[in-house]
Structure 1
Amino acid sequence: MHIGPLLGSGRTADVYALEGPWVLRRYRPGIDTAGELAVMSYLSASGFPVPRIGPPVEDALPTDLVVQRLTGPTLAEALLAGTVTGTEGAGLLARLLRELHTIPPRISQEPEDRILHLDLRPENVILAPEGATVTGWSVAGEGPPALDRAMASLILAQMALDPSSTAGAQVGDLLTELLSRFDDDDGVPADALARASALRAADPRLTAHETEVLDDAAELVSSLTDRRSARFRS
C-alpha cells in the first residue's frame, strides 16, 4: 500500500492515509509501539472495541502501526456539538471502562488485575457507525481497575481546569456525572487517585498547563468524591 497524505497530528504520532480502510500511525522518535500493538491485538481477540490491526506497509518504519480508519466524531466532538449529553457521555465512558475491566491481564499474575487504558478521555472514543471504539492505547497497562477510574477522572479534572478551554464547565459536569457512575464500581479510592497523580506527573507528554494544574485536579476529584460519600452517609 502507498502511504498517502497526512490526515492529522497528535501528541505522539502523525496519521497518514492508506488505501482501503486503513491509516498509518507514525510515532515520534523514541516511542516503542510493540506494547500498544500487543494490547490492541489481545483486546480485539477478547471482543473489546478497538481499531483493527492492518497489514504491513512497504516503506513503513519499525514503529509504525497500520490500523483501521474509523469514521464518525469523537465523543469530545459530539459533546461540544450537543449531539451527546454529558449524562450520556459519562455513561458511555463508565461502560467502556467496566467492559474493559472484565478482561483478564495478559501478563500479570495478580488475580485482581485487569487491562487498564490509563488515558480514557472523550478524544479517545470514536463514535463510529458500528459502535463506540476506543483508541489511544500507547500508555495502557495492567493493574487494579480503580487506578483506571482514577486516571480517567484526573484527566477530565485537568481539562475542566483549563482556562483557555470554552468547554471547561461542560467537562466539569461530565466529571461529576462520571464519578456518579463509578459509585457502582467502588468509586475512586484515595490511594488509587494518589497513584494516578504520580503516574500523570511522570508523563513527559503533559503540557505545561496540565503539569501546573495537576495538584488542583487531584484535589477537585478528591473533593467531588468526598462530597458524594458524605451525601450517601447522610
Structure 2
Amino acid sequence: MATPVPPVPLASGRDAEVFALDDHRVLRRYRNFCDTASEAAAMAHAARHGYPVPEVHRAQGRELEMERLYGPTMLDASLDGLISPEESSRILAELHERLHALPGRKGSGQDRLLHMDLHPGNVVLAPRGPVVIDWTNARDGAPDLDLALTALLLALTGDSTDPPLAGLAEACLAPYVGHVKGDPTRLIDEVVTLRSDDPNLTPEEIALRPRAADLVRKAWAAQVH
C-alpha cells in the first residue's frame, strides 16, 4: 500500500491555511472551528450560474477541499507590474457587476449574493480568466454593500505602511469607483460598522476607518456619473 503524501503548505492567512493535496486539489483549513457549508453553498450558487469560482470537492467542519488554481493573484501581478491599477480596478468592477447580476438565492427579492471581501488579493488570474476565491464572508444583501466594502478596503490599504502596497491601493481607488455600476458611498457607514466586528483588525486599522470612508466619498464625488 502506498504511503499517503502529506499536504504541502501553500499559503497562510489570518484565518486559515491552504495546503496542496495534489496537482488538482487544495485544502483550506481554518484555524478556529467554523462550518464551511455556507461558504461552499455560496460558491456552488455562483458556479451554477457561470460565475468564476474554484470547484468545491468537499466541505466538512473547518475544512474546504477545492480545485487547485494556477496563476498569480491580481495583487501579486499588479505589484510585479504585469497589470496596471486601471486594469485591476476594471476587473474588480466587472466581477462585482457579474456577481450582482446573478439570480438571488431568496427568490424574487432585491438581495443578491455578495462576496464581501473582493479585492485584488482574492482574484486569481488563472488560465481560464480571473477566478474569485475566499468566500468566507459571503452573504445576501444589497449590491451597494459589496461595492462599499471593496472601496473601503482599497482606501484602508492606501494608508498601509508598505509603500508598494499603499501606492497600488491608492492608484486603484479612483478608477474602481469610476467603473462600478452602483453607489459605493450609499452604504459606506454600514460597512464601517460591519468592519468594527472584524477581530483581525489592528487598532491602527480601526482608527483609520472614518478617514478611509471619507476618501471613498471624495473619490466618488470626483467622478462624473
Instruction: Give your verdict on TM over 0.5.
Output: yes
Matching residue of 2:221: 226
Judged with a 3 Å threshold, the aligned counterparts in structure 2 of structure 1 residues 110 and 3 are, in CA distance, closer, same or farther, namely: farther
Which stretch of structure 1 is more off in the superposition, 119-128 or 168-177?
A: 168-177
Which stretch of structure 1 is more off in the superposition, 70-79 or 24-33?
A: 24-33
Number of residue pairs aligned between Structure 1 and Structure 2 = 222
Separation in structure 2 between the aligned mates of residue 156 and residue 50 of structure 1, nearest angstrom: 22
1:166 equivalent among 139, 151, 164: 164
| Percent identity of equivalent pairs | 35
- How far 1:201 sits from its partner (Å)? 1.3
What is the identity, as a one-letter code, of the residue corresponding to 1:194? D
Report if aligned partners of 1:100, 1:115 keep a CA contact under 8 Å in 2.
Answer: yes
Judged with a 3 Å threshold, the aligned counterparts in structure 2 of structure 1 residues 62 and 31 are, in CA distance, closer, same or farther, namely: closer
Residue 7 of structure 2 is aligned to residue 4 of structure 1: yes
Matching residue of 1:186: 182
Deviations 1:164-200 (A, max 9, x none): 3423122111011101112xx233233x111111111
What is the identity, as a one-letter code, of the residue corresponding to 2:41? A
Report if aligned partners of 1:4, 1:16 keep a CA contact under 8 Å in 2.
Answer: yes
What is the identity, as a one-letter code, of the residue corresponding to 2:171? D
Separation in structure 2 between the aligned mates of residue 179 and residue 165 of structure 1, nearest angstrom: 22
What is the identity, as a one-letter code, of the residue corresponding to 1:154? L
- How far 1:207 sits from its partner (Å)? 3.1
Equivalences for residues 25-44 of structure 1 within 5 A: 25-44=28-47
Matching residue of 1:201: 196
- How far 1:31 sits from its partner (Å)? 2.5
Separation in structure 2 between the aligned mates of residue 45 and residue 2 of structure 1, nearest angstrom: 32
Report if aligned partners of 1:75, 1:89 keep a CA contact under 8 Å in 2.
Answer: yes
Which stretch of structure 1 is more off in the superposition, 219-228 or 152-161?
A: 219-228
Matching residue of 1:82: 81
Please list every run of 5 or more consecutive structure 1 residues that lacks an aligned counterpart in the other structure. Answer: none
Report if aligned partners of 1:116, 1:140 keep a CA contact under 8 Å in 2.
Answer: yes
TM-score, normalised with respect to structure 2: 0.92
Matching residue of 1:155: 153
- How far 1:17 sits from its partner (Å)? 1.4
- How far 1:227 sits from its partner (Å)? 2.8
Report if aligned partners of 2:160, 2:166 keep a CA contact under 8 Å in 1.
Answer: yes
